[in-house]
């Protein structure tokens, strides 16, 4: 399977059962998104959680119960089949990792598409910065913090952050570049002192892989899209569906249009 | 009653029945907000409407059913009593304009606080611009447009815009200043051609008062906070409560901190 150059062809291949791999590096000009699907009975609380915690949960689109098409991000898409792989959770426990969830879809399911750090890394690299984990071919290191998210109903839990090391000058540049993109977590939430976030050891991340912080570099921390997934698990819903890690929803929205996306009226 | 210099003292005076006037010009350093209160059965749809239409509906805080305190904008506040005057709608029709809604409050009511153009005018004036309607002591002219909002359940309707005339150079400055404040409608949505928005006659606004557009000036249009109120009326809910026009919720959030407000984690 050659690399895909656009979101639509990747989604169609996934739909037809011909692509079930990770989406990193695929269709690089197009925005990828995290998927969270919950029953309508929990949708108000999850939407409120996102509204109250926009740094870790930047919402790109909400697809209502009865629909499976992300009309804004990807007209003609089918959220039940267009991701390469899913995770299905029952009562907060992982039950299966299928490549298609059509068979277990229900008319009361609501889908949330949330900004993804792939967009974010791309901007930093385009801005001339070396993103350590990308350079090393590793997953970004992520840490649970002692900062509580703002609660909404049954959705509650700690903020999870990702970390990228930079020299002080690079860190300021990274803060400026990312600050212009609230759709993918915006500016850093902390710089320099892991202990202030309740992080005991940068060498032992809770998710992803550790990366070295060189002499003269500071660890820079951003709110992370793993936060809503962790909060989702803690809520122990009877049924919830997400993308499998790294197997994102690839949209028709071009990266360069991401900033304007939320400003558009129609 | 002397002018109030802070939100808390105005709210307490309103709570005690000692202040029932408009809030324009009061506590000028503090953010004022639109209030929309709906039964919990409509809260998900209204929240989704705001998420889908952030330009006319920039949400500052959602107060859940069972609470009447805006914990972020004004700790200790009581949304049933702290506004100088309310409007009560039954089945989409105005039924009364009380100064206190404690008697008709119910445990299932959810309150939405939405950014207000008072903050917006203040920034333009601080930026050295003359806001025509403010200079003339008039209410800003507002127009229904031919642009449909993004629908969410029973909430649907046209975008309403406000208009301020500026020379081209001033218009660019106004666009830059307002573009930095997505919490109060952000950048203009159109400049120059009322017909492109379906507006037939600038001299006959649908709300507010007409203002002259001088030779060499362009009409500049912003998404307007009247939009959610118009949409609310069209939904004909059995019960809905809003602030009375001009009688806003005055918060403890300083205007100069508005931009940082939505970035704050805790």
pLDDT at B82: 98
Please check the confidence at residue A138 and state whether its pLDDT lies above 90.
no
Interhelix angle for A40-52 vs A226-235, to 10°?
A: 140
Q: Do B59 and A47 touch (CB under 8 A)?
A: no
Please check the confidence at residue A264 and state whether its pLDDT lies above 80.
no
Residue A152 DSSP one-character state:
B
A112, exposed or middle or buried, with CB in 10 Å at 0-12, 13-18, 19+?
Answer: buried
CATH code of B7-116+235-260, in short, is 3.40.1640.10
Please check the confidence at residue B226 and state whether its pLDDT lies above 70.
yes
Q: Which residues of A lie inside 8 Å of B (Cβ-Cβ)?
A: 43-44, 47-48, 50-52, 54-55, 59, 62, 64, 147-148, 150, 152-153, 159, 186-187, 189, 223, 262-263, 265-266
Q: Do B265 and A43 touch (CB under 8 A)?
A: no
CB B104 within 8 A of CB B88: yes
Q: What is the pLDDT of residues B27-82, one digit of tens each?
A: 989 999 999 999 999 999 999 999 999 999 999 999 999 999 999 999 999 999 99
Q: Say which of B43, B189, B265 has its CB closest to residue A159.
A: B265
Measured between alpha carbons, how far is B177 from A264 in angstroms, rounded to an integer?
18
CB B157 within 8 A of CB B230: yes
**Minimal Cα–Cα distance from A9 to chain B, Å?**
27
For the domain made up of B118-227, give the CATH fold: PSTPO5379-like fold (3.30.2040)
Collapse the DSSP code of A256 into the 3-class scheme (helix H, G, I; strand E, B; otherwise coil) and give the result.
helix
Q: What is the pLDDT of residues A226-235, one digit of tens each?
A: 999 899 999 9
Tally of helices (H runs) and strands (E runs) in chain B = 7, 11
Mean pLDDT, residues A88-103 taken together: 96
Mean pLDDT of all residues in chain B? 93
Give the length of chain A: 266
pLDDT at A123: 87
Q: What percent of chain B has pLDDT over 70?
A: 99
For an interface test with B, the pick among A51, A115, A161 (most B C-beta atoms closer than 10 Å) comes out as: A51
Q: Do A62 and B44 touch (CB under 8 A)?
A: no
DSSP line for B213-242: --TT-EEEEEE-THHHHHHHHHHT-S-EEE
Q: Do A265 and B59 touch (CB under 8 A)?
A: no
Residues of A in Cβ contact (< 8 Å) with B62? 48, 51-52
Strand pairing partners for B228?
Answer: none
**Minimal Cα–Cα distance from B194 to chain A, Å?**
16
Strand pairing partners for A219?
Answer: A165
Q: Do A47 and B43 touch (CB under 8 A)?
A: no
Pairing mode, strands A249-254 and B93-96: unpaired
Please check the confidence at residue B266 and state whether its pLDDT lies above 70.
no
The CATH number for A7-116+236-261, chosen from 3.40.109.10, 3.40.1640.10, 3.40.50.12780, 3.40.50.300, is 3.40.1640.10
pLDDT at A147: 96
Please check the confidence at residue A119 and state whether its pLDDT lies above 90.
no
pLDDT at B182: 84
Please check the confidence at residue A132 and state whether its pLDDT lies above 90.
yes
Please check the confidence at residue A7 and state whether its pLDDT lies above 90.
yes
Q: Which residues of B lie inside 8 Å of A (Cβ-Cβ)?
A: 43-44, 47-48, 50-52, 54-55, 59, 62, 64, 147-148, 150, 152-153, 159, 186-187, 189, 223, 262-263, 265-266
Domains A7-116+236-261 and A118-227 in one fold: no
Phi, psi at residue A120, to the nearest 5°? -65, -50
Q: What percent of chain A has pLDDT over 70?
A: 99
Mean pLDDT, residues A98-122 taken together: 93
**What ipTM was reported for this prediction?**
0.89
A vs B, Cβ pairs < 8 A, gives 51
DSSP line for A183-234: GGT-S-SEES-GGGGT---TTS-SBS------TT-EEEEEE-THHHHHHHHH
Count of Cβ atoms closer than 10 Å to residue B195 Cβ: 9
Count of Cβ atoms closer than 10 Å to residue A47 Cβ: 25
Angle at B33 (CA atoms; ends A262, B192), nearest 5 degrees = 50
CB A254 within 8 A of CB A214: no
Give the length of chain B: 266
Gyration radius of chain A's alpha carbons: 18
Closest residue by Cα to residue B19 from B85, B115, B99, B84 = B84
Please check the confidence at residue A254 and state whether its pLDDT lies above 70.
yes
**Minimal Cα–Cα distance from B144 to chain A, Å?**
14
Q: Do A159 and B51 touch (CB under 8 A)?
A: no
- Residue A1: pLDDT band (50, 70, 90) is low
Residues of B in Cβ contact (< 8 Å) with A112? none
Domain ranges of chain B: 7-116+235-260, 118-227
Please check the confidence at residue B2 and state whether its pLDDT lies above 70.
no
Q: What percent of chain A has pLDDT over 90?
A: 82
Residues of A in Cβ contact (< 8 Å) with B47? 44, 47-48, 51
**Minimal Cα–Cα distance from B208 to chain A, Å?**
23
* Lowest-pLDDT choice from A25-29, A70-74, B145-149, B153-157: A25-29
Q: Secondary structure of B41-93 in the HEC alphabet?
A: HHHHHHHHHHHHCCCCCCEEEEECCCCCCCCCCCCCCCCCCCCCCEEEEECCE
CB B181 within 8 A of CB B123: yes
Q: Do A62 and B55 touch (CB under 8 A)?
A: no
Residues of B in Cβ contact (< 8 Å) with A111? none
Q: Say which of A51, A189, A266 has its CB closest to residue B59.
A: A51
Measured between alpha carbons, how far is B132 from B208 in angstroms, rounded to an integer?
13
pLDDT at B86: 97
In sequence order, what E strands does A41-189 have? 59-63, 86-90, 93-96, 109-115, 142-148, 158-166
CB A63 within 8 A of CB A106: no
Mean pLDDT, residues A8-33 taken together: 94
- Residue A266: pLDDT band (50, 70, 90) is low
CB B208 within 8 A of CB B37: no
Mean pLDDT, residues A67-84 taken together: 97
Q: Do A150 and B189 touch (CB under 8 A)?
A: no
Q: What is the pLDDT of residues A160-186, one digit of tens each?
A: 999 999 999 999 999 999 988 888 888
Q: Say which of B148, B153, B187 has its CB closest to residue A266.
A: B148
Structure tokens at A178: 């990312």
CB A11 within 8 A of CB A74: yes
Count of Cβ atoms closer than 10 Å to residue B193 Cβ: 11
pLDDT at A42: 97
């Amino acid at each position: 399977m050659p690399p895909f150059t656009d979101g639509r062809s990747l989604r169609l291949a996934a739909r037809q059962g011909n692509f079930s791999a990770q989406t990193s590096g695929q269709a690089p000009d197009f925005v990828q998104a995290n998927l969270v699907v919950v029953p309508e009975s929990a949708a108000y609380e999850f939407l409120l959680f996102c509204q109250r915690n926009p740094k870790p949960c930047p919402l790109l689109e909400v697809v209502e119960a009865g629909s499976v098409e992300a009309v804004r991000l990807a007209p003609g898409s089918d959220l039940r089949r267009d991701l390469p792989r899913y995770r299905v959770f029952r009562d907060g426990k992982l039950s299966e990792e299928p490549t298609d969830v059509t068979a277990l879809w229900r008319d009361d399911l609501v889908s949330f598409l949330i900004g993804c750090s792939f967009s974010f890394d791309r901007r930093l690299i385009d801005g001339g910065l070396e993103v350590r984990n990308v350079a090393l071919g590793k997953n970004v290191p992520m840490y649970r913090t002692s900062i509580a998210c703002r609660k909404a109903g049954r959705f509650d839990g700690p903020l999870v952050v990702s970390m990228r090391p930079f020299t002080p000058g690079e860190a300021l540049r990274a803060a400026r570049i990312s600050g212009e993109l609230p759709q993918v977590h915006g500016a850093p939430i902390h710089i320099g002192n892991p202990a202030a976030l309740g992080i005991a050891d940068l060498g032992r991340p809770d998710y992803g892989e550790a990366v070295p912080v060189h002499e003269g570099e500071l660890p820079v921390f951003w709110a992370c899209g793993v936060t809503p997934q962790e909060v989702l698990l803690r809520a122990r819903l009877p049924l919830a569906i997400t993308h499998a890690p790294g197997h994102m929803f690839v949209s028709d929205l071009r990266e360069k249009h991401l900033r304007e996306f939320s400003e558009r009226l129609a």
